[in-house]
Amino acid sequence: MVRHLVGGHDGHMTNDTGILSAPPAPQPWVRSSRDARLGGVCAGIARRHHVDPVIIRVLVVLLGLSAALGVVLYAAAWAFWPDDQGGRPPIERWFPASTTWSVQRKRTLTIIASLICISTFGSALPFSLGPALVVLVAWRIARRQTGRASVVQPAAVPTIPQAPLSPEFGAAAYAWQQRIDTLEGRATPAPVAPTWTTSSWVTPAMADPLGIYAPTAPVPSQATRRSSRPRFVITLLVLLIAAGAAGLGYLTPNTEPAWRMAVAAALAVIAVALLIGARTGRPRMLIFLGIILSVVAVSPTAPLDVRFSGPVSQAYTTQASLPADYTVGFTDTTLDLSGLALTTDATLPVDCAASSLVILLPAGVRTTLTHEQVASTLTLAGQDTTAHSGTWTSGPTDNSPTLTLQLEAAGCEVTVR
């Protein structure tokens, strides 16, 4: 007897009675190269879980609003996952040593990057981790729905019509069974003496009426890939125009700083090229280049003239009101201690990130400042210091109470006076 096995679209195998057999092994995490919009990560996830890629893209955007967590996770998936055409993960192409990395190490790196991202952008975006919680709940609900769907799936899977089997299909099935029995060393019952004429040949439509084993979409050939070469020429042309625009932007009078106008001009050229390319075909690499220029265009670099919130002024006049830790991030802040009165020694740790901070010291109070700085400028009583760390003391030298400021600055412009 020939057993008919029908493969469902979800990879499950059902027999004649529609009973679900052993569940298949989980599909690997891969990037989809067929319907990719950016890196193919969302499309790969969607294909793995049999959902619309648009849903996954929306969830990733929501994650991106959660302290840019989606950006980190997307980048990690793009770097660590191979594509569905058998290509190696990008990180293995860049760092061949990473081929020996375990999954646990990759997860650890992703978690560390996520934590850094949360601590860096958590205060810059207004939504905190709220969108991430929404995504988590939506994902749990979707997984539960998917689980229910897989239980009822066998009844929904169409099966090959059972009876009567056509003689041609029976002959083909008999030959298949005979071949299997020969390979496994079993005796095969006598054939039903099929008549092998051309009229008994099994056509693909008869052998695969559901189209399960239909060939997949053809892979782009080498000739097709060659046809995309003119896009590189267009890319080079756009880059030349962008360089020219950057030069003109740099020479534009009354701009401060000039480099920002240059970057803005180059970015505008790339934007126009992408808008035109939406119709005529996207030039290569422009999105990647545009992202880099966007970060540079609004980056709070040396002139530190970019702020995410207005100026803040905080004054402390009593020792009891001093906080345990004073943190400054993405803002212009004045820490006014000029009216502070101390009865005993006090210590105030000050953490500053990507901000402009002015500290007004108390008059008549001995003050000790210990500082550690990264990519920052520090001005102590009108004197600039370039040391990465050090100790500075001011005020009377008697035995009066001492205020100790422990300053840690990253990407800051700190003035102490």
Partner 1 sequence: MTARPEQRRHLDVSSLLWGIVFALIAGIAGWMALGHHVDWSALRFTAPLVLIALGILGLVLSRPNH
Which residues contact partner 1 by CB under 8 A? 37-38, 54, 58, 61, 65, 124-127, 249, 254-258, 260-261, 263-265, 267-268, 270-275, 277-279, 281-282, 286-287, 290, 293-294, 297-298, 305-310
Compute the distance between CA of residue 410 and CA of residue 413 in angstroms, rounded to an integer. Answer: 9
CB of 286 to partner 1, least distance (A): 8
d(CA 213, CA 216): 9
Strands 13-14 and 383-385: unpaired
CB of 276 to partner 1, least distance (A): 8
Residue 275 CB, nearest distance to partner 1 (Å)? 4
Output the smallest distance, CB 54 to partner 1, in A: 6
Cα distances (Å, whole numbers) of residue 408 to 52, 122, 329: 47, 19, 12
CB 153, min distance to partner 1, A = 25
Nearer to partner 1, 238 or 407 (CB): 238
**CB closer to partner 1, 295 vs 375:** 295
Distance CA 55, CA 179 (A): 46
The sheet with strand 332-336 has its strands ordered as: 312-315, 332-336, 356-360, 413-416, 377-380, 383-385
- Minimum CB distance to partner 1 smaller for 29 or for 308: 308
Distance CA 72, CA 110 (A): 8
Of 107, 89, 108, the closest CA to residue 99 belongs to: 89
Concatenating the DSSP letter of every residue in 318-384 gives BSTT--S-EEEESSEEEEE-TT-B-SS-EEEEEEEESSEEEEEPPTTSEEEEEEEEES-EEEETTEE
Is 101 or 250 the residue whose CB approaches partner 1 more closely?
250
CB closer to partner 1, 294 vs 377: 294
Nearer to partner 1, 270 or 380 (CB): 270
Q: With respect to partner 1, which residue has the nearer C-beta, 267 or 365?
A: 267
- For the CB of residue 209, give the shortest distance to partner 1 in the complex, in Å: 14
**Beta pairing class for 346-353 and 356-360:** unpaired
- Give 207 or 276: the residue with its C-beta nearer to partner 1: 276
Comparing CB distances to partner 1, the nearer of 176 and 232 is 232
Quick one: 47 or 371, whose CB is closer to partner 1?
47
Minimum Å gap between C-beta 45 and partner 1 is: 16
Nearest Cα to Cα of residue 32 among 20, 23, 44, 24: 44
Rounded to 5°, angle at Cα 76 from 72 and 79: 140
Write the DSSP symbol of residue 28.
P
In the 8-state DSSP scheme, what is residue 406?
A: E
Query: Where do we find the tokens 């975006």?
Result: 125
Residue 132 near residue 64, CB atoms below 8 Å? no
Smallest separation (angstroms) from partner 1 to the CB of 290: 5
Minimum CB distance to partner 1, residue 57 (Å): 8
Q: How far is the CB of 123 from partner 1 (least distance, A)?
A: 10
User: What are the structure tokens assigned to 20, written together?
Assistant: 């679900």
